[in-house]
Amino acid sequence: MRTLAVTSLIVAAIALAAATIRDAPAAPIVVPPDRSAFDAQTLVSNVCSKCHGATGVSVCPPFPNLAGQLPVYIETELKLFRQHGRTDPRARAFMWGIARGLTDEQIKGVARLFSSQPPASGTTSRNPALVDKGKLLYENGAKERDIEACIACHGHNGEGVNTNPRISGQQRDYFVTAMLQFRSRLRENKLMQDVTRELTDDEIAALVEYVSTK
């Protein structure tokens, strides 16, 4: 009970942090203007790796792991960043500027490089009860509140299905923030907004704990 309370406080703190950067300006263009001067590997090494790691395993907890991510998902998100189709705080503050100068070919190359890397391994939880609660919600949802099961879109082990992303082994801080932003409609995605609308902070914490172990 105490652990759930602490987890809720952590979730609330992350939500407050997200709100403070809601109006952050877009970052300046990071990639050089001469597109012939860099390829996908150069982009990953010199730009993407600063937050997502050279192999796609994030070096900063607030930023997602991209290793082993579905290439179609990476491509879709990069194109959304490029056209300002995502307006959540970190998209505005970081990815708008970074993606603005990318070509379709570069986006495909970056997606291919990250997706070919071994995905991050799940971490061991210190709270098995919270994991069990998250597992139940992940696999069954909560039909009485119109909360769909995550397994339908993200797979039995969070590996991703079709255009729905891999979420297994994802950074806890990033995952919590994403869920809170979907719930508060700071991040665009009607399906995820509907799924998270009725989720409590404790339920989000449980889902994050479970998925992070996969």
Give tens-digit pLDDT for 40-98: 999 999 999 999 999 999 989 999 999 999 999 999 999 999 999 999 999 999 999 99
* pLDDT tens digits, 110-155: 999 999 999 999 999 999 999 999 999 999 999 999 999 999 999 9
pLDDT of residue 111: 98
Average pLDDT over residues 182-189: 96
The two structure tokens encoding residue 163:
């255009």
| Token pair in block for residue 32 | 């050089």
pLDDT at residue 38, rounded to an integer: 77
Alpha-carbon span 149 to 127, nearest angstrom: 22
Cα 214 vs. chain centroid, distance in angstroms? Answer: 15
pLDDT at site 95: 96
Give the end-to-end CA distance of the chain in Å, rounded to a whole number: 24
Spatial CA neighbour of 121 closest among 214, 56, 206? 214
Residue 208 pLDDT exceeds 80: yes
| Domains, the chain | 26-115 (1.10.760.10), 128-212 (1.10.760.10)
According to DSSP, the residues that pair with 161 across neighbouring strands are 164
For residue 30, is pLDDT > 80? no
Mean pLDDT of the chain: 87
pLDDT of residue 84: 96
Confidence of residue 161 (pLDDT cuts 50, 70, 90): very high
